[in-house]
Amino acid sequence: MSEEAAGARGRVLVVGATGRLGGSLARASLAAGHPTFALVRPHRLARPDSPSLRALVAAGATLVEGSLEDYQSLLKAVRQVDVVICAEPTKQALEQKPLIRAIKEAGCVKRFIPSEFGLDPTKVQIGDMAYGFYEKKIEIRHLIETEGIPHTYICCNFFMRYLLPSLVQPGLNAPPRDEMKIFGEGNTKGVFVKEGDVAQFTICTIEDTRTLNQTLYLRPPGNICSMNELADLWEMKINKSLKKIYITEEQLLKEIVDAPFPLKMDLIFIYSAFVKGDHTYFEIDLLSEGTQLYPHVKYTTVGEYLDTLV
């Protein structure tokens, strides 16, 4: 039996709650009945009418002043809760170090969910190409485990709002209507999950003993697609055939070398997912996969998402 069945819902602190993912996490936490606190920087609290803060307060969140740069504010916030979830961007991943220190000192946190929410950094095969993107996450994992912090890692692969709105066509803001680039042979599968769904699955884990000190993978059926499958799906929806332009692995690697930032990173992540197969090349235990553990969570499929783009 999960801990949540044994009593009142745990108190949750969301760090980064004014961001898209953080806001989704706070709302999902509140919807699940958890008293939910949002760590908000002083300069943001000075503008209480901002849409992100208004939305949090309207949903029932308690705003707590503090920041990752102010250790005492972190410690004070952490001491009020049972669960800490961090949704800071990956480029700020190492800024979680004081937060981990505060969790260790406070001694009351039963679960920490660090800012991962992407590919499993320990499984990525292109780490040496990614400009330290995954090394930071691995460093944070090592610190969490060294300090003995109870944790769950969430590996959800791509958010739907990244790459999917263009059907994985870098530089486009909408799906193609005439021709489509297919990277590699087009059969390697990537995974897309909507942010709000990631948040719901995440909140399901926080008082579940099955996910304690484990990794939760999200590979929802209907959200695991190759580029060829994406093209077929889109052609059916627009009732039109697309011209397919196949970009070989060698061509893509050359494009990566020549591309400026941030296009370079988009191409690296495409190479990782749809050529090297970093989302799906490895097997996972069914008891590590979100839709298997939490079949009640209703999630948006890739097909349903594409319906909104037609």
CA distances from 246 to 186, 198, 257, 266, 267 (A): 8, 31, 19, 17, 15
> How far is C-alpha 192 from the chain's CA centre?
10
CA distances from 172 to 2, 119, 184, 225, 260 (A): 45, 23, 19, 19, 16
* 137 is known as an active-site residue: yes
Contact 255, 267 (CB under 8 A): yes
H or E element at residue 183: strand 179-183
- Rg of the Cα atoms in the chain: 20
Catalytic residue among 136, 137, 189, 194: 137
Structure tokens at 86: 């961090």
CA distances from 13 to 51, 67, 193 (A): 20, 12, 23
- For 249-281, give the DSSP string: HHHHHHHHHHPPTTHHHHHHHHHHHHTS-TTTS
262 cis-preceded (ω within 30 degrees of 0)? yes
The SS3 call for residue 191 is strand
d(CA 177, CA 65) in angstroms, rounded, equals: 48
β-bridge pairing 36-40 and 12-15: parallel
Q: Give the residue numbers marked as catalytic.
A: 137
